[in-house]
Amino acid sequence: MKLSQAHVVSHPGPYPVPGFPWEGGAMAMNRIQFQAGLSMAAFFERYGTEALCTAALERARWPDGFRCPRCGGAAHCLLHGGARKVFQCNTCRHQTSLIAGTVFQGTKLPLTVWFLALYLISQAKTGLSALALKRHLGVSYPTAWLIHHKVMQAMAARDAHYVLAGQVQVDDAYLGGERSGGKAGRGSENKIPFVAAVSFSDEGHPLRAKLSPVPAFTLTAIAQWANAHLAPGSTVRSDGLACFSAVTAAGCTHQPIVVAGRKPRDLPEFQWINTVLGNLKPVSPAATTRSTSASMRPATSPPSRTASTAASIWRHCMSACSSPQRAADRTRSDSFGWLRVIANQERD
């Protein structure tokens, strides 16, 4: 028996799905799940050849035309003979290639491989392992592992430039796998404590999320975290954990709301932060086993596990908690816009 889409969507059923509005017995479409994105066909149309990737990288790195990284001069000439474009400044004679100073520097792989890796990593809602990336790209595992970590590190480095401002929801959480022995729950030596925070607009739309490892949930640690990640004047809403009162040291207002054993569905004040933490569940096993044995690691030093964890789960959280307004704004902009992050890495 075949079920058409109409049957699946309109079947009333006795058990409505939590979080989905039901109108007249039919489940309404979730606009976040059906938001437009960059399809595989559109990706290959834009970045399917080396020439297209080279042109896109050049536009991302120098949107107003070439600028010498040494003297800032615009006059230049092109040197031919190699596999990559080499620019020579007419003022100081400094030579630089298109990929110098970016995560692509020194690579022997075609840019088409790198661009496909960027697309696959950024589009995978539940994360993409280095092994899966190896199969998609047709490269060796150490190569896929290095690409994977370089891209995540660039995402984490860019995210570190932003602070949360305005209305902010925060909560404490732990990330880690099960180990025999040791203490369970809060204070466990087997888990990494981190602060989860989401800023949102006055209309209630989420804007940005931060997942920051901390030494412990103490007044000193939270004060240091607040000074680094919160803009002065922000209003911070927490579940009343005593350490979060230290956000006032960063010039923020603290609004504690005592949860008192209520379920997340009964706490609309913490809707977005609970969504973020809920979305950590499908990716936390991969995050906690991100570390690789020394014999399998490439010679290039990888980013720390906490940095990789923050980079890998940031996109998953925001992809599911983004509002329709934010999704529409993201669709209208360049679907591959964060290529600029990688192209301009030397500036950050």
- Summarised one tens digit per residue, pLDDT across range 175-193 is 876 667 667 666 667 788 8
Q: Show the tokens assigned to 25.
A: 């017995």
pLDDT tens digits, 227-244: 999 999 999 999 889 999
Residue of 48, 30, 29 whose CA lies nearest to 38: 48
User: Residue 8's pLDDT band (boundaries 50, 70, 90)?
Assistant: very low
Q: Is the pLDDT of residue 171 over 80?
A: yes
Domains annotated on the chain, with CATH: 40-159+336-347 (no CATH), 167-279 (3.30.420)
Q: Is the pLDDT of residue 202 over 70?
A: yes
Check residue 63 and give its pLDDT: 92
More reliable by pLDDT, 339 or 144: 144
Return the residue matching tokens 């092109």: 78
Q: Which of 48-62, 122-136, 139-153 has the lowest mean pLDDT?
A: 122-136
Check residue 303 and give its pLDDT: 37
User: Residue 6's pLDDT band (boundaries 50, 70, 90)?
Assistant: very low
Cα distance between residue 318 and residue 311, in whole Å: 12
Cα distance between residue 337 and residue 228, in whole Å: 26
pLDDT tens digits, 278-334: 877 655 443 332 222 222 223 333 333 333 434 443 344 333 333 333 333 333 334
pTM for the full predicted model: 0.66
What's the DSSP call for residue 187? T
Q: Provide the strand spans (E) within 93-133.
A: 95-97
Q: 20: which residues sit within 8 A by CB, 6+ positions away?
A: 27, 28, 30
